[in-house]
Chains A and B, each alone.
Chain A
Amino acid sequence: QVQLVESGGGVVQPGRSLRLSCAASGFIFSTYAMHWVRQAPGKGLEWVAFLWFDGSNDHYADSVKGRFTISRDNSKNTVYLQMNSLTDEDTAVYYCAADPPNGGWRLESWGQGILVTVS
């Protein structure tokens, strides 16, 4: 079955960097666009970043543009989120989500989430 597993979270000091990973299985990863979505404690969902299936096109929320970079390695079925210049406003649970190849802009499958605490 489809599985997305995030890793790399933890506690990091303001101004430092962290890289999240999301390992995918159970579907043809190289045909899916991938997103990162975050949720601050007690708050709603916030879309963070998107990457096309082949890595050719990426987009970011204004709140992270210039600081975060999404990338992928289709040979490893893994998507990454490099987070630089972290601030306390980046504290959140980060989810990776898979967006199927037939369009629709839908987040069909989600990981369990990984907590990033900037403190």
Chain B
Amino acid sequence: QSALTQPPSASGSPGQSVTISCTGTSSDVGGYNYVAWYQQHPGKAPKLMIYEVTKRPSGVPDRFSGSKSGNTASLTVSGLQAEDEADYYCNSYSGSKILVFGTGTKVTVL
């Protein structure tokens, strides 16, 4: 199972937007609308932020949004806040392989 490809880092100033990409194949990201995004602060468990490409769980701010085009999914954080500084991971359903995670992106709020 090959990991989905994410940029190692991304950054933005408070109030700005940052977009993280997650590139897979037609066997995972491109083949299913089951892409999720997780936020992980240091030493903490991951937290679900987006599921089924665009849906937000209850309690997640609408500053977080997801999209997908072909084999690449994206997470956009608008109106960056200090507490958004964290690691972000995508994952996708991948058929018989069930789930595959992305390599992770460290978001820094400048």
The reply on A80 being an interface residue by CB < 8 A is no
Residue numbers in B under 8 Å from A50 (CB-CB): 98-99
The reply to whether A45 and B101 form a contact with Cβ atoms under 8 Å apart is: yes
Q: Which residues of A contact B (CB under 8 A)?
A: 35, 37, 44-47, 50, 59, 61-62, 95, 104-113
**What 6 pairs across the A-B complex have the smallest Cβ distances?**
A106-B51, A110-B45, A105-B93, A44-B104, A47-B99, A105-B34
Q: B3's closest neighbor in chain A, by CB?
A: A44
The one of A44, A59, A104, A110 that contacts B47, using a Cβ cutoff of 8 Å: A110
Our count of residue pairs bridging A and B at CB distance below 8 angstroms stands at 64
Q: A62's closest neighbor in chain B, by CB?
A: B1
Residue numbers in A under 8 Å from B38 (CB-CB): 45, 107
Residue numbers in A under 8 Å from B102 (CB-CB): 44
The reply to whether B51 and A104 form a contact with Cβ atoms under 8 Å apart is: yes
Residue numbers in A under 8 Å from B80 (CB-CB): none
- Min CB distance, A101 to chain B, in Å? 14
For chain B, give the interface size range. Answer: 20 to 34
| CA A110 to CA B103, docked complex, whole Å | 19
Residue numbers in A under 8 Å from B98 (CB-CB): 47, 50, 59, 105
Q: List 19 A-B contacts (CB under 8 A).
A: A44-B101, A44-B102, A44-B104, A45-B89, A45-B104, A47-B1, A47-B91, A50-B98, A50-B99, A59-B96, A59-B98, A61-B97, A105-B34, A106-B34, A107-B48, A108-B57, A109-B48, A110-B46, A110-B47
The reply to whether A106 and B45 form a contact with Cβ atoms under 8 Å apart is: no
